[in-house]
Chains A and B, each alone.
Chain A
Amino acid sequence: MVRRVAVVDSDLCVGCGSCMLACNRRFAEVGYGKTAIHIRSAGGVERGFVVIVCRACKNPPCAKVCPEDALLPRDGGGVRLIPNKCIGCGYCVEACPFGAILWDEEVDKPVICTYCGYCVEYCPYGVIEMREVS
């Protein structure tokens, strides 16, 4: 069994961005450029927030469209990025129906969730958790 980040209840989310900053801090940098989790308002703060994470699909559409096989499907669900194979075409971004792939402008490659769960440790409101891929 493998694990992924799952959304418990997006209505609990306050949009603080602590999770996004944490994800970026994996590289000990300050910012949003390398974050794999994305929080935005659902069309204005009054409507609450949308929490977008990689769902670790069993049959991942991103991997299917990658012309260089730079996204390796992981046993049990999800993908792994092989950076030196990636040519930065961005097809994967378009293929993900959840919009869960953000772009790292600095290296011109996608940011792919590594399912490490670091963001979960910094969500103050229990919006996200680590869950086994079902």
Chain B
Amino acid sequence: MAVKLPVNLARVLYVDLTRKRSWVEDRRDLIEEYLGGVGLAVALAREEGVERADPLGPENGIVFAVGPFNGAYPMGSKTVAVFRSPLTGNLGESYAGGRSSLAIKFAGYQAIVIRGASESPVYVAVHEDEVKFRDASALWGMSSSETVGRVIREREPNPGFRTIMRIGLAGERLVRFACVVTETYRHFGRLGLGAVFGAKRLKALVVSGRRSLEVPDRRGYREVYDELYELSTKSNLMRKYHDLGTPMNVLPLNEIGALPTKNLKSGRFEQAEGISGEHMAENYLIRRAACSGCPVACIHLAGIREPYPHEKYFYKTTVVSYDYEPTYSLGSMLGVGDAKRLLRLIHEVERVGLDAMSTGVALAWATEALERGLVREGDTIVKLRWGDAEAYRRAISLLVEQPNDFYSALAQGVERASQIYGGSEFAMAFGGNEMPGYHTGPAAHIGFLIGGRHSHLDNAGYSYDQKRAELPDPEQVVDDLMAEEAWRMVLNSLVVCLFARGIYRPEMVSKALDPLGIRRSVEDLRELGWRIYRERMRLKVDAGFDPSRLRIPDRIFETPSPHGLISPDYVQRALEHYHQRLKDICTP
């Protein structure tokens, strides 16, 4: 008989890949301080010494963490991963949904720490208290991450109650922006967790669990659940993310001139219609899916019917998940305006397990570098041309294969490639991370630069731009974005989907924690956000992040944004202010 566990879990599972050992520790100390999620993960990553680790060495640790709201409340559906990033060299932090967070929670863990490296390929299967190291030699080198998922699905128990996180060839070949795919269509996309898995020869991590966890205030819990369920299903959230999904942004962003196109030579794409959320839904959408514990179901799956080349009247249907981000990076950014071609590119990226955003931005830079003669066709092997999806499909394979110096450099990210080949003015990365799809104005780019993971979701500068006709002083923008990021540290410790941020306001978070036996006032929570922000930025700085060395690609000043041409002085002032504030925050 299983032991009854409280909903406020304190158990952390440690998995040592070198010695093939695992054990559980009670980390009440950290959970009481940080709740869970990113706060807990940063503290555990610090203990692992990730700031001193070679990102691809056995000493790099990976921490997966969930928090108090996972499984407990609607849209508490995310897992955070913290590690040292092989792409930026400093802190890696990435989020995914799928079945991951509920599987980890109901397996009875608040976090899983992965240490060491295996000599030969393995996958780790955690079924509640049972941890198995399974030989994955035969899975290593398989061409499709989907097949790997299928094989493991057949072999492991507990369908519906498990997560299967795995890497593709890109992770095995250490492409610095390889992702970890979970449940086929969700990803720990950013900052190269896939390469860290690959370096550890960890092909997959399977976690399943079906525990039922005890709640201190049973009545209060059901009441708050109902209130939140009502809010999440009756609000316009549901419509917004369920109907068209995130690609609903394509047309509005294009309209205002904020859709990065052809390596951000423009903010408008003449073929935007063809890859819009509306066009996709009308012509390709076959199904919606949800992350576990989320009624919204924003995952949109498209079906493309492909004929077999040598057989008449034989077809197969390939199912591809599409979102705004890959639509921008592999669509407008590469000048690909045909939905079917775009879907094939997304599928290719999914198969090999690459981050779609970094891949698109890297290929966009390569296309322009070729155009300008910085690299030759001998380097790129295929002739990269805007809109030529077939050429890009081949280039994706080459990125994974890395048959020459050029692709080896590109596989390290666009920052590194442009250091070698030139063209850094149009290498669209911030802090070493390839840009997200928003050229909405200065706040978006300031947000990418100062964000802890250089992602649009760190502080939502893109939304800041869009909500204001005029922007305040750059110092004010930085202060506002930092405050947003600090609050998001709380949301990311719970760990709720950021689409639900409008529901999980501070008062609501405080109220919903209460029946779970966690008392935190609104002020406590705000203070906690700043504390986690500080710990995380300290870890990032200790891992080598130097804000004075942030590179700003000139391109953002050349292409008009909805706020007009962005002034370099404005962004520079913002960065100086940020630098000073970061110093103040990080000095004890």
Contact = CB atoms under 8 A, between A and B. Distances in A.
Interface of A: 11, 14-18, 20-21, 24-25, 27-34, 38-41, 43-46, 48, 102, 104-108, 122, 124-125
B440 interface: no
Contact of B215 (A18, A29, A48): A29
B301 A16 contact: no
Contact of B7 (A21, A30, A41, A124): A30
B210 A30 contact: no
A16 B185 contact: no
A30 B221 CA distance: 10
Contacts of A44: 146, 149-150, 153, 184
Given A21-B71, A32-B211, A45 B225 contact: no
Interface stretch (B292-300, B428-436, B444-452): B292-300
Contacts of B486: none
Nearest to B222: A28
Contacts of A18: 74, 229, 293, 295
Interface in B359-373: none
Given A31-B212, A32-B102, 7 more contacts: A14-B290, A14-B299, A29-B212, A30-B72, A43-B150, A44-B146, A106-B4
B319 interface: yes
Contact of B212 (A15, A34, A41): A34
Interface residues of B, number: 48
B138 interface: no
Contacts of A25: 222, 225
Nearest to B73: A30
B159 interface: yes
Given A16-B290, A48-B287, A41 B160 contact: yes
Contacts of B7: 29-30
Contact of B185 (A17, A27, A45): A45
B469 interface: no
Interface in B189-244: 209-215, 218-219, 221-222, 225, 229, 233, 238
B291 A16 contact: yes
B213 A29 contact: yes
Nearest to B317: A46
Contacts of B284: none
A41 B209 CA distance: 16
Interface of B: 1-2, 4, 7, 71-72, 74, 102, 106, 146, 149-150, 153, 159-161, 183-185, 209-215, 218-219, 221-222, 225, 229, 233, 238, 287-297, 299, 301, 319
A108 B74 CA distance: 29
A17 B292 contact: yes
Nearest to A43: B153
A43 B150 CA distance: 8
Given A14-B297, A29-B215, A105-B1, A40 B225 contact: no
Contact of B1 (A20, A107, A125): A107
A106 B289 contact: no
Contacts of A40: 159-161
A17 B102 CA distance: 10
8 A-B pairs with least C-beta separation: A40-B160, A33-B212, A28-B218, A31-B212, A16-B290, A46-B319, A14-B297, A40-B159
Contacts of B290: 14-17
Nearest to A124: B295
Nearest to A102: B210
Given A30-B71, A106-B2, A45 B213 contact: no
Contacts of A29: 7, 212-215, 218
Contacts of A43: 150, 153
A45 B215 contact: no
Nearest to A26: B222
B210 A33 contact: yes
A125 B294 CA distance: 12
Contacts of B209: 32
A25 to B, nearest CB: 6
A45 B184 contact: yes
A46 B301 contact: yes
28 contacts: A15-B289, A15-B290, A15-B292, A16-B293, A16-B297, A17-B160, A18-B74, A21-B293, A28-B218, A28-B221, A30-B212, A30-B215, A30-B221, A31-B211, A31-B212, A32-B106, A33-B2, A33-B106, A39-B160, A44-B149, A44-B150, A45-B301, A46-B301, A102-B210, A105-B210, A106-B4, A122-B295, A124-B238
Given A44-B149, A48-B287, A32 B222 contact: no
Contacts of B74: 18
A17 B183 CA distance: 15
Interface centre among A28, A34, A40, A108 (most CB of B within 10 A): A28
Contacts of A31: 71, 106, 210-213
Nearest to A123: B295
Nearest to A42: B159
Nearest to B77: A16
Contact of A38 (B1, B72, B160, B219): B160
Nearest to B128: A105
Contacts of A124: 233, 238, 295, 297
A13 B81 CA distance: 29
A46 B2 CA distance: 33
Given A17-B292, A44-B150, A46-B319, A106 B212 contact: yes
Contact of A45 (B222, B238, B289, B296): B289
A35 to B, nearest CB: 8
Nearest to B234: A124
A31 B294 CA distance: 14
B297 A28 contact: no
Contacts of B150: 43-44
Contacts of A45: 183-185, 289, 299, 301
Q: Which of B219, B229, B290, B296 has most chain A Cβ within 10 Å?
A: B290
Given A16-B291, A106-B1, A107-B1, A32 B161 contact: yes
A106 B209 CA distance: 13
Given A106-B2, A124-B233, A28 B212 contact: no
A122 B229 contact: yes
A33 B210 CA distance: 5
B295 A24 contact: no
